[in-house]
Structure 1
């Protein structure tokens, strides 16, 4: 019987390289594409990403404090939904610009994105400190629009660059950098709570802006991509090198068109698992941040002592650091295997603990456990997308997923705010039921994605 020779033809490979010189660099860069998965340089990058998350997510996770101060002092004539929309805009721009920022990062690296985002973020905080009472549009422009654009230029490169340095240890590395958001979420609310009574809202925000500036300067110095942008562009173009070479010979129009079509990477939607990831992200992010926005106001509504209620958000963010062991377990047992039960339990906590809570103890217990378990989604989602994406497409595909998160975040918290129509008799019961059911629905989609990978219970996914 004749044996079918399935080995690649060396002649064909050489001919291809001669015909398309851009392909000749692929073999030489193959070794570089292997992630070091550790080392001083790699962990310095993670340290820079930690500081970037501290600076950006620390402020975002403090919006519960901003929301309460806006509602009582700066924007007393605005509804809860309107004030929530300011924070929702931050999340919308943070995630919504990710598809474009992710592709720019894939093609050109972080050399321009990080400094530009740092400048915009600090300027936006300075402008927030100057906003006037009942001038709602000023808060929308400074705290919603400008701040959201600034942080997305920082967040997307900071969360994506881990895929260039880590592979097997990526869930843990992303968990470490994501813990910066938790630490920042503890420090920033305390800065505001302590300084506002002493120096006023304006100077309290300015002090926080200087803290953010220091962190972002260090981030710009330590965060760097491992592969030269040109190498990544060559790899991205390799599959269509022949077509582009021909287009270049014809006058270059095809190359320009190819660049435009590659600005947003839509190739992931050919994969059913990627589509399920987008669907789960949309539903989960619809409700993900509602407790962070409303738990402080809920604690005050339940007449919890102010010495506790004003620090509930900080306690939640501090507790979220404890999700790091779960990220470590994800390295051993699989990202999705940790995400599914953590997200499912966080939905159960909303209905079983937050809904019947009336005093300080159950509210704080809920906030702490919810922050730990729901935060696993934020920490491990990039690792899950990275596991199903080639390294050179990771930024673009993660950006597509985050676009769904952006839309959900934009409408989620204002939807919840619609339940709180009357400050005297707010509809917190409906708000909590809505939150819990949405999280459980998103968890079901994660279960479907897990089963699609494998029906074996102990299979590493």
Structure 2
């Protein structure tokens, strides 16, 4: 927290501020609801349109979408600082809706790359960064709580969409099921366009082409360690979200159960995201994230690894991992914001996620490759996810020590 932040009178609430949070909620829902339902799509495509492709090959489709969502936030952050959110959110809304409305026409591998990976990824990038950065313009002390509220949207969508698609796939088919999802996003994104706005003075530049992430920010060692920690956290995060469905099916459970287990995981994530924001504002954002990563390690090694075909253990893992991983995405933006001045937040955020995006790109294909190498056994995938969380936690602890010292009860 900087002296400049104290001089600025953040609203910390009120109609205008909370309307931005609502708009951010709608935008976050549109971007992350389907991302949090990736396991459902992977399981369906693996059994139907892309049944001739390996899990690792299909993983590249979802990995590229995640990569573009976060990597293309690199130029989006500085553009937000300079010009505000309006135009980017409008273009992103068009791309995201077009992706879902066209997805039902895809029949070949490259179709999914263009329609889902590229259109959805670019649309998500143009929406996610402005929605989160705009919230930081209205909240400082309560930033963790406000961001957590907005980020619960992805979990809400991750509860609704798997259950909805479970009914729609056999009832109306893949094409109309995805179109219905697209029409829902049209309504939500209309609200996002109406409600999300910026507040702080803009910093226009003479040439839009020179807007880029500021790599000099990585000279700040705590920020660099936080970035590396988030990178490794992303390696771990999307593996359970994506592979819990195929894990359940491979251990004798029905497709119906595998769809439900994704909803159960996201239900846990909803409570985790909401409560993490409240806890973070009391004991510190980075402290809360470190504790959540420790719990993720325990969940992976103590619950998922020995679960096998035990239905009760799979459900318990889904609930607990959902709760403790809920803070992974919701607290990342506010941890970054804690290390920079608010007016530079877009640039810091973009620089961080430019690197983190490579973690999202490679995580699912690597996990798919491990799965194939182990002849469909999941122990290697689970260990990979757990160790990713261990490494992420160590980098975040290092960042905390550098920035706030060794004090165990220091709020940071």
Match of 1:85 among 22, 47, 60: 60
- Tell me, yes or no, if the aligned pair for 1:348 and 1:440 is still in contact at 8 Å: no
Greater mean deviation of Cα atoms: 40-49 or 367-376:
367-376
Q: How does 1:376-415 map to 2 (within 5 A)?
A: 376-415=327-366
| Counterpart Cα distance in 2 of 1:446 and 1:31 | 25
| Counterpart Cα distance in 1 of 2:5 and 2:245 | 51
Q: Which runs of 5+ in 2 are unaligned?
A: none
| Equivalent in the alignment of 1:246 | none
| Equivalent in the alignment of 2:230 | 281
- Tell me, yes or no, if the aligned pair for 1:266 and 1:397 is still in contact at 8 Å: no
Deviation of 1:54 after TM superposition, in Å, equals: 1.1
Q: CA RMSD in A?
A: 1.8
Q: Answer yes or no: is 1:304 the counterpart of 2:277.
A: no
| Counterpart Cα distance in 1 of 2:65 and 2:390 | 25
- Tell me, yes or no, if the aligned pair for 2:37 and 2:262 is still in contact at 8 Å: yes
- Tell me, yes or no, if the aligned pair for 2:84 and 2:202 is still in contact at 8 Å: no
Q: How does 1:192-271 map to 2 (within 5 A)?
A: 192-227=165-200, 231-233=201-203, 256=207, 260-271=209-220
Match of 1:191 among 164, 171, 189: 164
Q: Answer yes or no: is 1:355 the counterpart of 2:305.
A: yes
- Higher Cα Rg, which structure: 1
| Counterpart Cα distance in 1 of 2:373 and 2:163 | 28
Q: How does 1:299-448 map to 2 (within 5 A)?
A: 299-323=248-272, 324-358=274-308, 359-421=310-372, 425-448=375-398
Q: 1:422 to 1:203 in 2, by over 3 A?
A: farther
| Equivalent in the alignment of 1:165 | 138
- Tell me, yes or no, if the aligned pair for 1:84 and 1:293 is still in contact at 8 Å: no
- Tell me, yes or no, if the aligned pair for 1:67 and 1:293 is still in contact at 8 Å: yes
Q: Answer yes or no: is 1:45 the counterpart of 2:15.
A: no
Q: Which runs of 5+ in 1 are unaligned?
A: 1-28, 238-254
| Equivalent in the alignment of 1:17 | none
| Counterpart Cα distance in 2 of 1:214 and 1:129 | 19
- Tell me, yes or no, if the aligned pair for 1:334 and 1:460 is still in contact at 8 Å: yes
| Counterpart Cα distance in 1 of 2:379 and 2:152 | 31
Deviation of 1:284 after TM superposition, in Å, equals: 1.5
| Counterpart Cα distance in 1 of 2:246 and 2:6 | 54
Question: Deviations for 1:196-219, whole angstroms, at most 9, x for unmatched residues?
Answer: 100000000000000011000011
- Tell me, yes or no, if the aligned pair for 1:50 and 1:178 is still in contact at 8 Å: yes
Q: How does 1:33-182 map to 2 (within 5 A)?
A: 33-132=8-107, 135-182=108-155
- Tell me, yes or no, if the aligned pair for 1:118 and 1:216 is still in contact at 8 Å: yes
Deviation of 1:318 after TM superposition, in Å, equals: 1.4
- Tell me, yes or no, if the aligned pair for 2:27 and 2:188 is still in contact at 8 Å: yes
- Tell me, yes or no, if the aligned pair for 1:53 and 1:184 is still in contact at 8 Å: no
Instruction: Report the TM-score when normalising by structure 2.
Output: 0.95
Instruction: Report the TM-score when normalising by structure 1.
Output: 0.85
| Counterpart Cα distance in 2 of 1:108 and 1:349 | 43
Deviation of 1:434 after TM superposition, in Å, equals: 1.1
Greater mean deviation of Cα atoms: 300-309 or 285-294:
300-309
